[in-house]
Structure 1
């Protein structure tokens, strides 16, 4: 599949691997892919994010991702559903962190690094890459660009897509901008 990646898409993946390595993570997650996408300039994906007003909100997006990590990767929709049942996720997080310290519910990153020490990709990150390929095939295009990785992130329902949507980058908005 990687032979179909453009230079920009390869740079996003390489940036995600580098970001994971710097953080000491044994795996590359969807979050690493998203943050690497947000680091890009003058690519199709970067132009779409800029047109939608997302690029200038990188710090807010990073905060949203950190808040989701603090909730154990739980989405806002999940949090709202629990609130409807009278369960306060914020209260649970506060209690757990009070006993076990800050970030105690941060989702564990399952998986191990490759024997070379390079981070491996989580199942979620692999799903994003696979979805990007499916987007390309459905659009009858030949190569996978960073814009397809962005669509892949939005198509795979998760916290990263939820955070992007909160700032105006829904799948439909990105597709329309392309």
Structure 2
């Protein structure tokens, strides 16, 4: 499927995977595709998301994904009753191995770069959005899938975290889709 992507659309997909790794997430989801679309503020898809930028989307993702789970709070409380301060343990580990060392399993490449050792899978909603981007391209009689098609795929998927962020930022996905589906005429 990726062979039909434009270079810009491939960059969005690559950026989405990089963002998922950078944020130490377990999967690549619609929210990461959204971050990929917003990476270049001059891109037509990013321009269609007026009022939402990369930093705003990342903050919205962090607010949802980084919330401690109820079970984690219980684990910390239980360990506390045994005299183990989970925060102190985390601080010592990060002091020894670096910030975020508990978040991912890094390794060094041959070139010496530190990268995540995990292979990130796509969430079902992200896969669906990518599939729908192909359908949007076909519906618009395009031979390639571009960033506009990726955004339309996210909108058409309609239930991932990306859509929640778009709506929470006061954007109307249906209006965006209508605008993007209008054939563009050249000069």
Per the shorter chain, which TM-score range? 0.5 to 0.7
Query: What is the CA deviation profile of residues 107-135 of structure 1, one whole-angstrom value per residue up to 9, with x for unaligned ones?
Result: xxxxxxxxx95433222211110011111
Q: How does 1:37-76 map to 2 (within 5 A)?
A: 37-49=37-49, 52-55=50-53, 58-70=54-66
Q: Distance in 2 between matches of 1:3 and 1:39?
A: 21
- CA shift, 1:174, in A, is 1.6
TM-score using structure 2 length: 0.62
Pair 60,20 (structure 1): closer, same or farther in 2 beyond 3 Å: closer
Structure (1/2) with the larger helix percentage: 1
CA contact 1:12–1:40 (8 Å) conserved in 2: no
Instruction: Name which one, 1 or 2, has greater alpha-carbon Rg.
Output: 2
- Contact (CA 8 Å) 2:152, 2:177: kept in 1 or not? yes
Q: Normalising to structure 1: TM-score of the pair?
A: 0.65
CA RMSD of aligned residues (A): 2.6
Q: What's 1:99 paired with?
A: 74
User: What is the aligned length?
Assistant: 139
Partner of 2:134: 133
Q: Name the residue aligned to 1:5.
A: 5
CA contact (8 A) 2:31 2:160 kept: no
Select the structure with the greater relative contact order (CA < 8 A; seq sep ≥ 6): 1
Q: Where in structure 2 are there 5+ consecutive unaligned residues?
A: 77-116, 181-187
Q: CA deviation at 1:24?
A: 4.1
